Chain A
Amino acid sequence: MEDLYRENLLDHYENPRHHGTLEHADISHEESNPLCGDRIRIDVKLSEDGSRIAEIAFSGDGCIISQASASMLMDEVDCKPIGEVQKLERQDVLDMVGAPLTAARVKCAMLGLKVLKAGLYQYLVDHQK
């Protein structure tokens, strides 16, 4: 807990990576956590064959944990194959945050991953033959 709000997390919050929105994105998805008002939108452009993430951006507002962990997630998944991104789990995000979170705050940290996975899933459902 002592290390939670350390330099790395605050740096991601104050200087979020891949922050903004993308025009002509293949995937745009947004969700919020009504309990605390955290909101995250993620836009994704896929490579031509649709197999990997070519460009990604997030926007939103909320607590430091939700926004910084989304920024960390962007760094992690940029240019990765979709298959790998789909395999990301709760523990991967917790590892990115790198400091223990109480149960109530885990939810904040997971919002970015939840939005990304839900967006990807919807895209795959819409594009499967």
Chain B
Amino acid sequence: MKDTIRSLDVARIRQDFPALNERVHGRPLVFLDSAASSQKPIQVLSALDQAYRTSYANVHRGVYYNSERTTDLYDQAREKITRFIGAPAPENVVFVRNATEALNLVAYSYGRHFLQAGDEIVLTELEHHANFVPWQVLARERGIRLKFIPLTPQGTLDLARLDELLTPRVKLVTFAHVSNVLGTITDPRPVIERAHAVGAKVVVDGCQAAPHMPVDVQALDCDFYALSGHKMLGPTGIGVLYGKTDVLEAMPPFMTGGDMISSVTFDSVTWNEIPVKFEAGTPAFVEAIALGAAVDYLAALGMDAVRAHEREVVAYAIERLTEVPGATIIGPTDPDIRGGALTFTIKDIHPHDLGTLLDREGVAIRAGHHCAQPLHVRLGLPATARASFYIYTELREIDALIEAIYKAKHTLRK
């Protein structure tokens, strides 16, 4: 076991996460599934509790104290997220349920309004279903062609193939900033530059990036950026779609109803301004306020420190897993280009059996195709195991993982 990491005071951080003190099957919980959803600090839990417990009222339109106070907190949360992702203004931050809804919003609103038969969309072989199926559905509906950036044997995007894919017919390019399976970190800048050169808009799925590293959407110059709050210490049911002002303004609403209209008569309607145009109905404002608290928590740690910590954890996990006979790491083994998710297989042990056996030791990992079936087909694997890390992950938990894997191998005589 190595010394604790200097980049973050993990022991101090862990005190903020009550769920990490739980025991599973009589053993201390070793939670290694933060890529699916992170644990929540007391600061976020308190924000939820406070918002419901004190001065609770629906946002907007209320002319009384509670409504104005809650609206104010809601607006502040949007401003915090604006700063956190480097967006130019709060109007560029649309609240949605999660990244899935953000990506669907773009596919339905932008896709169906601006793309037509014969156009092309470029995506990648490693996408999560959430950044795959909405485009597949759009493509079938409109006669649009999908083209895929292939993977190198190392599990990175083969960007040498990008120029041949980027024909003038390409209207949209989309990719995961960090892969939820391979952990691959793709530098978005060069892809975005080259896509813009042929006039395509760029959608970045930032679900596995925004919680784990600094993100500056203006520096990236992407047209859209999607993220989920629950993967970055926030509650479920709240996510963000960032969009450039001109693009958001040109798009029709995704859903219609209350709040998103400016005026309605019996035979006409005028849409409200962005971002509210895309936020029909009562929003998840309590969750948004709590996401603001989550973003405060991360910003106080510093996203460079968060990334440095995870880089060290993933480097250690790669080193330890490499020692295990029969273990194969899926995706890059260079921690500089690998986010905090380590996917692997153990020879002759199905990932589900491994997951069940590890659970007995209190070690929570994920097993399956991680909502990336096309990628698993490409890899020739029906399922894989994934251990994923976050700000509260300690190196001793990697040791616990490795020990549990050895124990599983022993139990199954592999």
Contact = CB atoms under 8 A, between A and B. Distances in A.
B195 interface: no
A34 to B, nearest CB: 7
Contact of A36 (B352, B359, B360, B412): B352
B190 interface: no
Given A1-B25, A1-B360, A10-B413, A35 B369 contact: yes
A65 interface: yes
A10 to B, nearest CB: 7
Interface string B12-31: 00000000000001000000
Residue of B25, B352, B356, B373 most packed against chain A (CB within 10 A): B352
Interface string A78-109: 00000000000000000000000010110010
B149 to A, nearest CB: 25
Contact of B356 (A10, A37, A102): A102
Interface residues of A, number: 18
A54 to B, nearest CB: 32
Interface residues of B, number: 19
B379 to A, nearest CB: 12
A95 to B, nearest CB: 19
| Secondary structure call for the A interface | loop
A63 interface: yes
Given A5-B412, A35-B368, A36-B383, A105 B373 contact: no
Nearest to B382: A37
A2 to B, nearest CB: 7
Nearest to B408: A5
B353 A64 contact: yes
A4 interface: yes
Nearest to A104: B352
B350 interface: yes
Interface string A104-127: 110010000000000000000000
Contacts of A14: 413
B373 A64 contact: no
A4 B353 CA distance: 10
Contacts of A63: 350-353
Given A1-B25, A5-B411, A10-B412, A34 B373 contact: yes
Contact of B353 (A2, A5, A35, A37): A5
B293 interface: no
Contacts of A35: 368-369, 383
Contacts of B411: 5
Interface string B346-357: 000011110011
Given A1-B25, A4-B356, A102-B356, A62 B373 contact: no
A68 B357 CA distance: 16
B359 to A, nearest CB: 8
Contacts of A2: 360
A65 B357 contact: no
Interface in B359-378: 359-360, 367-369, 373
Contacts of B350: 36, 62-64
A37 B412 contact: no
B414 to A, nearest CB: 11
Interface string B323-343: 000000000000000000000
Nearest to B369: A35
A4 B411 CA distance: 11
A36 B368 contact: yes
Given A37-B381, A102-B356, 19 more contacts: A1-B25, A1-B360, A5-B353, A5-B356, A5-B357, A10-B412, A14-B413, A35-B369, A36-B367, A36-B369, A37-B382, A62-B350, A62-B382, A63-B351, A65-B356, A102-B359, A104-B352, A105-B352, A108-B352
28 contacts: A1-B359, A1-B360, A5-B356, A5-B357, A10-B412, A10-B413, A14-B413, A35-B368, A35-B369, A35-B383, A36-B350, A36-B352, A36-B368, A36-B382, A36-B383, A37-B381, A37-B383, A62-B350, A62-B382, A63-B350, A63-B351, A64-B350, A64-B412, A65-B352, A102-B359, A105-B352, A105-B356, A108-B352
By Cβ-Cβ distance, the 8 closest A-B pairs, closest first, are A37-B382, A63-B350, A63-B352, A64-B353, A63-B353, A36-B383, A5-B411, A36-B352
